[in-house]
């Protein structure tokens, strides 16, 4: 009997659903860390895949160290040059990560439709999008608002620590906590994202802000940070935890990259990066791809089972699709009745 990463029996093997061009084994797993009773082997396998090989997490850790050592200017004194360097640095990072993935997967089609979730291409000549073009729309919102707001939070943090307004700690202070804290950051990120995301789906705010992101039912690398500024501001606000909880600047940068750059992975539209027909890097989260198709489900991340705990989980099966649609229907029926709001 085959089981997924959480230890549940696989109901639909990868790629056998008629609804998708490709999907992983279903049901989609959450982290087994919070599964009780604890299944030790599944927990160890989960950590090994996420932290002991090439993964988004290990890439952001390495990048955080590199940027902090070589490309982080001091903000002990206000400096336009330092701020401009941070802005250009972040612009270069998103161009390399999101732009590189878009070129490889979508423009050059180096792996064709292999491991591609949705068979459709990026939209063109569609009035839903700015410039009537999905890719240009996504690039505009990411670069015009995403990068500056991300940089603003970095300026706030580094100004605070460089002027001793916020506490930090070093590896030598507590080596074990220094390492574990990277994982704790992802738990905090998942908690913060779940509740901010639920707020963003409040219909009045959704229409104003979050609808910009949800134009992308079929997502690509540039879709991840394609947000209205009224979404981008609360989305990055989880970084403010570092002003009150002592951390090292590398922890902050890791957190920032998990928010700013990892969405290019999770929204890539592909399950993994193939080179010479071999999986080299896990990319898309089918968990979140389900959210973009069905909307009122999977608000969180796989690191913590918030969606399971609050009955908003969609595991990818047809049964959960029916449940998700029924929940959405009930939700909007109630809103229409109480507030006269149309869905």
Render pLDDT for 87-106 as a digit per residue (tens, 0 to 9): 999 999 999 999 999 999 99
Query: 9 forms bridges with which residues in the sheet?
Result: 3
Q: Angle at CA 324, nearest 5°, toward 322 and 326?
A: 70
Q: What is the mean pLDDT of the chain?
A: 93
* pLDDT at residue 289, as a whole number: 97
Q: What are phi and psi for residue 300, nearest 5 degrees?
A: -100, -145
* pLDDT at residue 334, as a whole number: 66
Domain borders along the chain are: 54-315
Q: Which two tokens stand for residue 220?
A: 């690509």
Give the pLDDT band of residue 36 (cuts 50, 70, 90).
confident
* pLDDT at residue 324, as a whole number: 83
* pLDDT at residue 343, as a whole number: 44
In terms of phi and psi (left: phi > 0; alpha: psi -120 to 50; beta: otherwise), the region of 342 is: beta
The kind and range of the H/E element at 202 are: none
- Report the C-alpha gap between 342 and 300 in whole angstroms: 25
* pLDDT at residue 3, as a whole number: 65
* pLDDT at residue 5, as a whole number: 66
Nearest to 201 by CA among 164, 234, 241: 234
Task: Report pTM.
Answer: 0.94
- Report the C-alpha gap between 290 and 279 in whole angstroms: 22
Residue with tokens 């500024």: 229
* pLDDT at residue 50, as a whole number: 93
pLDDT of residue 187 exceeding 60, the answer is yes
Q: What share of the chain is helix, strand, coil (3-state, %, to 5)?
A: 60, 5, 35
Q: What are phi and psi for residue 25, nearest 5 degrees?
A: -55, 140
Nearest to 150 by CA among 3, 263, 20, 311: 263
Q: Region 34-63: what's the mean pLDDT?
A: 92
HSE-CB for 168 with a 13 A CA cutoff: 17
pLDDT of residue 15 exceeding 70, the answer is yes
Lowest mean pLDDT among 18-22, 213-217, 218-222, 279-283: 18-22
Give the pLDDT band of residue 2 (cuts 50, 70, 90).
low
* pLDDT at residue 29, as a whole number: 86
Q: What is the largest CA-CA distance in the chain?
A: 62
Lowest mean pLDDT among 33-37, 176-180, 325-329: 325-329
Here the contacts of 285-294 (C-beta below 8 Å, separation 24 or greater) are 286/23, 286/24, 286/28, 286/117, 286/316, 287/28, 289/117, 289/118, 289/219, 290/28, 290/314, 290/316, 292/214, 292/216, 292/217, 292/218, 292/219, 292/267, 293/118, 293/217, 294/321, 294/324, 294/325, 294/328
* pLDDT at residue 135, as a whole number: 98
Q: Is 24 exposed, middle or buried (CB count within 10 Å of its CB: 0-12, 13-18, 19+)?
A: buried
Tens digits of per-residue pLDDT, 309-333?
Answer: 999 999 998 888 888 888 777 776 7
Angle between helices 229-236 and 147-162 (to 10 degrees): 30
* pLDDT at residue 84, as a whole number: 98
CB 122 within 8 A of CB 135: yes
Q: Region 58-63: what's the mean pLDDT?
A: 98
* pLDDT at residue 38, as a whole number: 86
């Amino acid at each position: 009997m085959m089981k997924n990463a959480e230890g549940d029996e696989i109901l639909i093997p990868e790629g056998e659903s008629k609804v998708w061009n490709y999907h992983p084994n279903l049901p989609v797993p959450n982290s087994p860390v919070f599964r009780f009773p604890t299944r030790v082997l599944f927990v160890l396998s989960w950590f090994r895949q996420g932290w002991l090989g090439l993964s988004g997490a290990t890439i952001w850790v390495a990048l955080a160290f590199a940027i902090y050592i070589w490309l982080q200017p001091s903000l002990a004194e206000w400096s336009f040059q330092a701020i401009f360097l941070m802005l250009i640095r972040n612009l270069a990072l998103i161009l390399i990560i999101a732009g590189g993935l878009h070129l490889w997967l979508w423009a050059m089609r180096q792996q064709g439709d292999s491991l591609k979730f949705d068979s459709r291409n990026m939209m063109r000549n569609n009035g839903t999008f700015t410039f009537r073009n999905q890719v240009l729309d996504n690039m505009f919102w990411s670069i015009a608002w995403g990068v500056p707001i991300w940089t603003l939070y970095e300026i706030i943090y580094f100004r605070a620590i460089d002027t001793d307004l916020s506490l930090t700690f070093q590896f030598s202070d507590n080596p074990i906590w220094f390492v574990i804290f990277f994982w704790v950051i992802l738990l905090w990120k998942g908690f913060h994202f779940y509740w901010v995301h639920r707020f963003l789906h409040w219909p009045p705010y959704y229409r104003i802000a979050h609808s910009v992101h949800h134009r992308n039912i079929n997502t690509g690398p540039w879709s991840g940070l394609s947000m209205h500024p009224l979404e981008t501001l609360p989305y990055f606000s989880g970084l403010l935890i570092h002003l009150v909880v002592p951390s090292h600047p590398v922890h902050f940068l890791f957190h920032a990259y998990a928010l700013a750059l990892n969405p290019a992975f999770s929204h890539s539209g592909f399950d993994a990066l193939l080179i010479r027909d071999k999986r080299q890097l896990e990319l898309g989260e089918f968990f979140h791809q389900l959210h973009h198709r069905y909307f009122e489900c999977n608000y969180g991340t796989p690191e913590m089972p918030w969606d399971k705990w609050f009955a908003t989980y969609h595991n990818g099966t047809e049964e959960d699709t029916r449940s998700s649609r029924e929940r959405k229907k009930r939700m909007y029926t109630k809103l229409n009745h109480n507030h006269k709001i149309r869905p």
